[in-house]
């Protein structure tokens, strides 16, 4: 019985570098989604939106969020290259805390790197939650 429990635990463990690279992909997705907001705000607000100091602060905040997200992705990507592939971690609990189903799948075991956010959705598409 002890052997069965050990085999079950091993099935939920994954190599840390693989998990971290999936996180890097998700961070790049977040940066891309934030970047898409800025031109939409300019389009909705028109040219006068840039005359408001509060609007400028919001635009700068969006830019900072993109830079920080990309910086975190690059940091994790860089340190991941130094982690031995044999390092295993159990992601079961962490995955159960992720509320977005697409992101949970993207971060979950066995999926290749890719975007969890359906970037190519047609205008007007949305998901109920």
Please report whether residue 6 resides in a domain.
no
Query: What's the domain range around 89?
Result: 14-107
Please report whether residue 45 resides in a domain.
yes
Please report whether residue 114 resides in a domain.
no
Using pLDDT thresholds of 50, 70 and 90, give the confidence band for residue 47: confident
Distance CA 106, CA 6 (A): 26
Please report whether residue 113 resides in a domain.
no
Say which residue, 125 or 1, is predicted with more confidence.
Answer: 125
Q: Give me the mean pLDDT over the 25-41 stretch.
A: 93
Instruction: Check pLDDT > 50 for residue 20.
Output: yes
Please report whether residue 40 resides in a domain.
yes
Using pLDDT thresholds of 50, 70 and 90, give the confidence band for residue 2: very low
Model pTM score: 0.74
HSE of 29, CA atoms in CB hemisphere, 13 A: 18
Using pLDDT thresholds of 50, 70 and 90, give the confidence band for residue 60: very high
> How many structural domains compose the chain?
1
Are 42 and 49 in contact by the 8 Å Cβ rule? The answer is yes
Residue 91's contacts (CB-CB under 8 Å, 6 or more residues apart) are: 12, 14, 19, 107, 108, 109
Please report whether residue 50 resides in a domain.
yes
pLDDT value at residue 75: 98
pLDDT value at residue 21: 95
Q: Give me the mean pLDDT over the 28-54 stretch.
A: 90
Please report whether residue 3 resides in a domain.
no
| Residue 13 parent element (H or E) | strand 13-15
Please report whether residue 33 resides in a domain.
yes
């Amino acid at each position: 019985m002890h052997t069965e429990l050990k085999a079950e635990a091993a099935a939920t463990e994954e190599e840390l570098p693989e998990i971290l690279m999936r996180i890097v992909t998700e961070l790049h997705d977040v940066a891309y989604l934030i970047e898409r907001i800025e031109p939409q705000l300019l389009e909705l607000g028109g040219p006068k939106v840039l005359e408001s100091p509060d609007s400028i602060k919001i635009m700068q905040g969006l830019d900072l969020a993109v830079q920080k997200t990309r910086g975190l992705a690059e940091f994790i990507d860089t340190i991941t290259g130094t982690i031995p592939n044999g390092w295993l971690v159990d992601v079961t609990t962490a995955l159960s805390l992720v509320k977005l189903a697409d992101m949970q799948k993207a971060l979950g075991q066995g999926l290749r790197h890719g975007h969890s956010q359906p970037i190519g959705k047609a205008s007007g598409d949305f998901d109920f939650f």
